[in-house]
Structure 1
Amino acid sequence: MTTTFDRAAARGSAELLREKRLELSALTIPSGRGWAPLGSQVTECLVKQPTTIGEVIAMLVTMQRILDELPPSPANNRVSAFNELYLKITRRVDSALVDGVNSPEFLERLDVEFARRYFAAIDLWNNDNEDTPDVWEVLFKRAGDVEMTRLTAAMLGVNAHINHDLALALIATWVDLGAPTDDIIHPDYLLVNEIFYQEIPPLRRGFSDRWQLELDEFVGPLDDWSQRMLVTMTRARAWDQARRLWLLRHDSDDFEQARRTMDRAASLLAEWAIAGDRILSEAGDVIDGGRDLLRRLFRRDDDRGPAAHIGPGAAD
């Protein structure tokens, strides 16, 4: 089967997406990048690629310890928020391999390839390598940005992992095990959706600040439903992207250009998410400030007591 791919059009799209992203954010990359002051520990953690899901979990545990010690303060590094979520999901996938899947070999191999992309991005950033995918750069360069909520940081990691890494992990898995020709492995792929459905709501609430929790309570189950739909659509899209990229696997130039375009699109989506987070956070701050002001005013009024309301001559 032959396929046509317009590399020039893809390159033009990638450049346009990058320009639009930079219009949203002029935040520069920190000097030296890396994971200072624990860069050597990150290097040690990543010295060996994982080959089993157990090794993936062990590396994520080590990475969590490192990230939780990084600036700006213990457990406040924004990348640690995503790593925490990712570790939780991976442990659930590991449990699912015991039973209930058609092909444990496929699901474990996909999980390993998936994790390798995340670890590779961390390693590239640690080594000040400009080949760090743009979509991961968006999160990594904000690792110490406490103005960005931990919830948004976790979602940026999910965006990078699903909208960029997942299609590449699927291709690497198919190279090893063969491309799917029936419906045996796709239900196993969809099983991860169910894990996301169960784990995302409590994790989301755990990452939320007061304003986000109040908004979550206000909309009721709508947030959970919308995130279920988002997981369903993005993971379905990743599968479709992988099927299209699979046709380009023998042409490294076309494949890389298609990957870059996919990366730039996901990074623009990430910047939109950050802009939305800023707007909601500022609105929440205004509302919280208004509430605090009213509380202080009423408290001051109460402290003055009933006599404060008695006008001149009232005691006559």
Structure 2
Amino acid sequence: MNFDRVQVEASAERLRECRRRIEASVPEVVNGWTPAEQAMADACRTPPEDIAGVVERLKLLQTILDTLPPSPAKNRVGQFNALYLTITERVAAHLLGSEVHDKKWLEVLDVEFARLYFTALSSWGVPGKDTPDAWEVLFRRAHTDTISTLEAAVLGVNAHINHDLSLALIETWKKMGYPGDGPQHPDYLLVNKIFYEEIPPLRRRFATAWQMEIDKCVGELDDWSQRVLVRTTRAMAWEQAERLWELQDDDDDYRRACMVMDRVAAIAGETLLRGTGIVRVLWLTVRATAAGVWHRLRGRRTPRQLEAARR
């Protein structure tokens, strides 16, 4: 086992300084969900137990977020919530069909995934509670119109996939067992298909007139690049979860690794605000850098690789 705690903490500090250098300014940060703090706390207090509960909770959150600044139905977290609700409804529909091999596993993953989002919402602005850096990038801009609704939605997707998804996989594996190359992995990849189908129309729904003109110029290239991005980042999330899985028996090392993952995702979020086309390359570069950090800090193989070696 090779996990250099000193180097991990040094990397986390460098990542924090890097974020400070590149983050875009926000006119006024509202720490919390004024004037709906109590409604938000009540909505997030008891986590749902199934995907139907997740859908209902997201609908409730949408009604709350749509009342918040900068104007009705324009809260920037609300823009992400609307996208997340659509994707979750599609996953719920697939659970009723025949494409899913292990429906219980995929539902547990969806619930654990949602719980992390609800926890982040409930922690924002509450004294003594830490909000993940990845979510803070979006939450700091919840009440402002200095970013577009499309950018807001993408910031939420970044935090959810590049931070929450690995942690949701860990919690699912704790409950259901580590699946390796079992039928659960194709079920995980099925969500990619849902993203492929939903992201283009959702992107165009949130886009400004200028962004729509760019969209027309690039044609299907933008859709293709986003499919690549979804496939790559979700694959990285699975691999990252495998590496975190090896650390779960050591609370200190696990915490340090999660801190690095969170700060890398936060930098990716800030980078996303720097442009459109080139940002996709930068996002992948940041994610690849994160993977490189893992490989440098830990010279161990993933559970899948270990299993293959035993064969």
Moved more, 148-157 or 174-183: 174-183
Structure 2 CA distance for aligned equivalents of residues 266 and 172 of structure 1? 19
Summarize the alignment of residues 55-204 of structure 1 with structure 2, pairs less than 5 Å apart: 55-99=53-97, 100-129=99-128, 131-204=130-203
Q: Which residue identity does 2:113 align to in structure 1?
A: F
Output one character per residue of 1:194-233: Cα deviation in whole Å (capped at 9) or x when no partner: 0000000000000000000000000000000000000000
CA deviation after TM superposition for structure 1 residue 44, in Å: 1.1
With the length of structure 2 as denominator, give the TM-score of the two structures: 0.86
- CA change 1:124–1:139 in 2 (3 A) is same
Structure 1 CA distance for aligned equivalents of residues 134 and 174 of structure 2? 24
Structure 2 stretches lacking a partner, 5+ long: 280-311
- CA change 1:143–1:97 in 2 (3 A) is same
Report if the CA contact (8 A) 1:136-1:157 is conserved: yes
Structure 2 CA distance for aligned equivalents of residues 77 and 129 of structure 1? 25
Aligned-pair identity (%): 52
Per the alignment, residue 213 of structure 2 pairs with 214
For 1:275, what is the secondary structure of its paired residue?
coil
Q: Which residue identity does 2:51 align to in structure 1?
A: I
For 1:69, what is the secondary structure of its paired residue?
coil
Summarize the alignment of residues 202-281 of structure 1 with structure 2, pairs less than 5 Å apart: 202-276=201-275
Report if the CA contact (8 A) 1:39-1:126 is conserved: no
Report if the CA contact (8 A) 2:26-2:141 is conserved: no
Report if the CA contact (8 A) 1:33-1:128 is conserved: no
CA deviation after TM superposition for structure 1 residue 14, in Å: 1.0
CA deviation after TM superposition for structure 1 residue 46, in Å: 1.1
Report if the CA contact (8 A) 1:32-1:128 is conserved: no
Q: Which residue identity does 1:120 align to in structure 2?
A: T
Report if the CA contact (8 A) 1:42-1:126 is conserved: no
Moved over 4 A (4+): 28-32
Per the alignment, residue 41 of structure 2 pairs with 43
Output one character per residue of 1:157-208: Cα deviation in whole Å (capped at 9) or x when no partner: 0000000000000000000000013321100000000000000000000000
Per the alignment, residue 291 of structure 1 pairs with none
Q: Which residue identity does 1:164 align to in structure 2?
A: H
CA deviation after TM superposition for structure 1 residue 98, in Å: 1.2
- CA change 1:218–1:142 in 2 (3 A) is same
Report if the CA contact (8 A) 1:34-1:128 is conserved: no
Q: Which residue identity does 2:159 align to in structure 1?
A: A
Q: Which residue identity does 1:210 align to in structure 2?
A: A
Structure 1 CA distance for aligned equivalents of residues 209 and 26 of structure 2? 30
Report if the CA contact (8 A) 1:29-1:141 is conserved: no
Structure 2 CA distance for aligned equivalents of residues 272 and 240 of structure 1? 23
- CA change 1:78–1:128 in 2 (3 A) is farther
Report if the CA contact (8 A) 1:101-1:188 is conserved: yes
Structure 2 CA distance for aligned equivalents of residues 218 and 271 of structure 1? 26
Structure 2 CA distance for aligned equivalents of residues 161 and 68 of structure 1? 20
Q: Which residue identity does 2:252 align to in structure 1?
A: D
Moved more, 165-174 or 268-277: 268-277
Structure 2 CA distance for aligned equivalents of residues 207 and 243 of structure 1? 34
CA deviation after TM superposition for structure 1 residue 8, in Å: 1.3
Structure 2 CA distance for aligned equivalents of residues 269 and 158 of structure 1? 11
Report if the CA contact (8 A) 1:61-1:87 is conserved: yes
Report if the CA contact (8 A) 2:29-2:141 is conserved: no
CA deviation after TM superposition for structure 1 residue 26, in Å: 6.3
Per the alignment, residue 294 of structure 1 pairs with none
Per the alignment, residue 22 of structure 1 pairs with 20
CA deviation after TM superposition for structure 1 residue 27, in Å: 3.8
Report if the CA contact (8 A) 1:57-1:91 is conserved: yes
With the length of structure 1 as denominator, give the TM-score of the two structures: 0.85
How many residues get paired?
Answer: 277
Report if the CA contact (8 A) 2:24-2:270 is conserved: no
CA deviation after TM superposition for structure 1 residue 276, in Å: 1.9
- CA change 1:229–1:246 in 2 (3 A) is same
